Amino acid sequence: MRVMRDADETFLTLVRENEARLRKICRVYASDADAEKDLYQDILVQLWRALPSFEGSSRPGTWLYRVALNTALAQKRQRATRESATIDESNPIWRNPIPAPDESLESKQRLERLYAAIARLDDVDKAVVMMYLDEKSHREIAEVLGITESYVGVKLHRIRKEMTAWLAGEAA
Amino acid sequence: MAGGRSGMNLEDARREWQSQTTLENSRMSEAEMLELVKHSSSAFARTIARRDRRETIAAIVVMILFLPLLATGPWLARAGVLVVLGAFALIFTKLGAARRLEASERLDLSLAELLESERTKVNGQIRLLESVVSWYIIPPAAGAMLIVIGLEGLSWFTAGYALFALAISLWVYRLNQHAVRRELRPRRSELERLIHELKG
């Protein structure tokens, strides 16, 4: 019983501390708002199922990114080979956020532009740039993706150049 | 894009990215969330258990149906029963191994490890379905044919049965090849695309 409560608490803390991050991953990889909700629910279920391996994890951030990213890409692959995805319209895990009164229109537009620029990248580069924006180190990015740190550097160099051009270009 | 917007560099982008927060009013209660996640997770486990139970029951039914023939039938029919039982054992073993491999998915691996492991699984599934004639179609069909010949001899009924079995076998073969073409090969291509994106 105590073990169960510990697992519940670990899971809830994990979700509480990373909810915004998980939603960003959903927004980047989902094709529309319904798919976003579906993916969010799927990621939570997979985090719960993978929780036993979290206990031994030395880097919780890396673990979370791995599970969330792998779930997002797996769901995308499944959708690609399915005619249509099943969306739970009444999905209660996700409630649409209500904008805060002080959220500026300009900030919203800038975010839209940022997401539009990320959407132009391929699936792996999207993951790299999300972790870069989250200020993850080259080492952490390499651990999530399973590539070398120096190759992360090469990828980031190219992605930053592309993103800079796109973000500047869209402002013109 | 509308004109007149100010430019954004990557440092601005970083700030915007990190400024996104989840609003309290967009969350469901933690107790509700836990219940839903646990329910979805156990529903998955129940589905697997139900499928395993159904297959065990099917195996028992096949045994019950064929065992009397094994005790009393002509020798050719008895040999056929043995072949059918052996074929079912082979099919259950092959499918069981494939499903255990499928269920062993670990999402906490690095992306590179996961993609390689999935590609190995998909290649295994493709091989399994492409060789379906040798382990899924011919063994039970041959066993059933021996039983019919043992019971009916070489007759019009036997010839009709052979044609019927051939038609069913062709249909099963085509279904499996369709699955390879429509599902597994596209999945493998998608995995290879991702591996290429990852490793350059």
Region label for B167, one of left (φ > 0), alpha (ψ between -120 and 50) or beta (otherwise)? alpha
- Chain B positions touching A25 (Cβ under 8 A) are none
- Chain B positions touching A127 (Cβ under 8 A) are 111
Q: At what angle do helices B185-199 and A123-133 cross, to 10 degrees?
A: 40
Quick check: A32 contacting B, CB < 8 Å? no
Residues A10-23 pLDDT 10s: 899 888 888 889 99
**What CATH number does residue A104 fall under?**
1.10.10.10
- Chain B positions touching A153 (Cβ under 8 A) are none
Q: Per the CB < 8 Å rule, is A80 touching B199? A: no
Inform me whether the pLDDT recorded for B24 exceeds 70: no
Q: Per the CB < 8 Å rule, is A93 touching B191? A: no
Compute the nearest-CA separation of B80 from chain A (Å): 40
Q: How many domains does chain A have?
A: 2
To the nearest whole percent, how much of chain B has pLDDT over 70? 93
Q: Per the CB < 8 Å rule, is A171 touching B23? A: no
How much is the pLDDT for B86? 92
CA distances from B116 to A131, A164, B138, B190 (A): 22, 32, 32, 12
* Domain enclosing residue A132, as ranges: 98-172
Q: Looking at the structure, do residues A1 and A29 belong to the same domain, yes or no?
A: yes
Quick check: B182 contacting A, CB < 8 Å? yes
Q: Looking at the structure, do residues A79 and A140 belong to the same domain, yes or no?
A: no
Closest CA to A25 of B188, B118, B111, B186: B111
User: With a CB-CB cutoff of 8 Å, which residues 63-82 of chain B face chain A?
Assistant: none
Residues B74-118 pLDDT 10s: 999 999 999 999 999 899 888 888 888 877 778 888 999 999 999
Q: Per the CB < 8 Å rule, is A53 touching B106? A: yes
User: With a CB-CB cutoff of 8 Å, which residues 76-95 of chain A face chain B?
Assistant: 77, 80-81, 92-95
Q: Looking at the structure, do residues A77 and A104 belong to the same domain, yes or no?
A: no
Quick check: B29 contacting A, CB < 8 Å? no
Beta carbons within 8 Å of A118's beta carbon, 6+ residues apart: A28, A126, A129, A130, A163
Q: Give burial (CB, 10 Å; 0-12/13-18/19+) of A124.
A: buried
Q: Looking at the structure, do residues A83 and A29 belong to the same domain, yes or no?
A: yes
Looking at A81, A96, A111, which one is the last position of a domain? Answer: A96
Q: Per the CB < 8 Å rule, is A50 touching B108? A: yes
- Chain B positions touching A160 (Cβ under 8 A) are 10
ipTM of the complex: 0.81
Looking at A96, A120, A152, which one is the last position of a domain? Answer: A96
Q: Looking at the structure, do residues A91 and A74 belong to the same domain, yes or no?
A: yes
Q: Which residue in B13, B27, B191 is closest to A167 by CB distance?
A: B13
To the nearest whole percent, how much of chain A has pLDDT over 70? 80
Asked which of A72-86, B25-39, B125-139 is least confident by mean pLDDT, the reply is: A72-86
Average pLDDT over residues B34-48: 82
How much is the pLDDT for B119? 92
Q: Record the tokens describing residue B117, joined without a space.
A: 């492991």
Q: Looking at the structure, do residues A80 and A130 belong to the same domain, yes or no?
A: no
Which of the two residues, A81 and B54, has the higher pLDDT score?
Answer: B54
- Report the residue of chain A nearest B185, measured CA to CA: A81
Quick check: B100 contacting A, CB < 8 Å? no
Q: Looking at the structure, do residues A103 and A170 belong to the same domain, yes or no?
A: yes
Q: Number of Cβ pairs closer than 8 Å across A and B?
A: 167
Q: Looking at the structure, do residues A75 and A116 belong to the same domain, yes or no?
A: no
Looking at A77, A96, A115, which one is the last position of a domain? Answer: A96
Residues B142-158 pLDDT 10s: 999 999 999 999 999 99
Q: If pLDDT is split at 50, 70 and 90, which confidence band does A85 have? A: very low
- Chain A positions touching B16 (Cβ under 8 A) are 107, 110-111, 114
Q: Looking at the structure, do residues A8 and A78 belong to the same domain, yes or no?
A: yes
Q: Per the CB < 8 Å rule, is B26 touching A98? A: yes
Q: If pLDDT is split at 50, 70 and 90, which confidence band does B3 have? A: very low
Inform me whether the pLDDT recorded for A73 exceeds 60: yes
- Cβ(A34)–Cβ(A48) below 8 Å: no
Q: Per the CB < 8 Å rule, is A113 touching B108? A: no
Q: Looking at the structure, do residues A33 and A80 belong to the same domain, yes or no?
A: yes
Compute the nearest-CA separation of B42 from chain A (Å): 9
Q: Looking at the structure, do residues A147 and A79 belong to the same domain, yes or no?
A: no
Q: Looking at the structure, do residues A90 and A102 belong to the same domain, yes or no?
A: no
Test the B interface: residue of A64, A114, A150 with most B CBs within 10 Å = A114
